Structure 1
Amino acid sequence: MKSTRELYWDDIEREHERAEKKQDQIYQVNEIVSSLSAREKELFQLKYVALLSNAECAQKMGIKEGTVKSMSQRIREKIDRYFEMIIRSYHFFETL
């Protein structure tokens, strides 16, 4: 059975690991957003941060809802490509 001190340090270690993971996730989101055009960044903020609907995004941006949908698809594709690159890099370094 672990002592109170050991349990305390286990909690500290888990919290540190969570903080590192969160920091990595923030870095990844910033990397992805930096690859977007100005209009894509605006849509990303409205749709994925402010959680507006496609219709609301279209109204705020002064564009058609169909344009929001196609831009959203392009954003998702850029996100997918980013993580595919990360996975390929991971597998590359794993083989070294």
Structure 2
Amino acid sequence: MLKKDWETPFENLPPNSGSIEFVGTAIEFRGQGVASQIIRHILENDQYNDYVIAEVADTNIPAIKLYKKLGFEEYQRKPLPEKSAQKSGINHYLSFKSGK
């Protein structure tokens, strides 16, 4: 069911760019640096010049703070359709990018 989602990047990336997707931490491990360590490991041990993290809910403040702390900058906001925003409480999906 998710095959096409896993095989298709969120957007077309420039050459030598990587996409970090589907970042999540189990509730009992949040706030302990797990996501931070994983992302730092990716940034330090891969050959890409820059990275993109796409579709972060604007309500996910801990993730947004983490990405900014790690040097990512917001470059795009995609509004959700009004009906979806009302149901989910999410107004925008944010995209971040970082260069080494």
Question: Could you state the TM-score of these two structures normalised by the residue count of structure 2?
Answer: 0.27
Which is higher, the Rg of structure 1 or of structure 2? Answer: 1
RCO comparison, higher one (Cα < 8 Å, 6+): 2
More strand by share: 2
In terms of fraction of residues, the more helix-rich structure is 1
Question: Under a length normalisation based on structure 1, what TM-score does the superposition of the two structures give?
Answer: 0.27
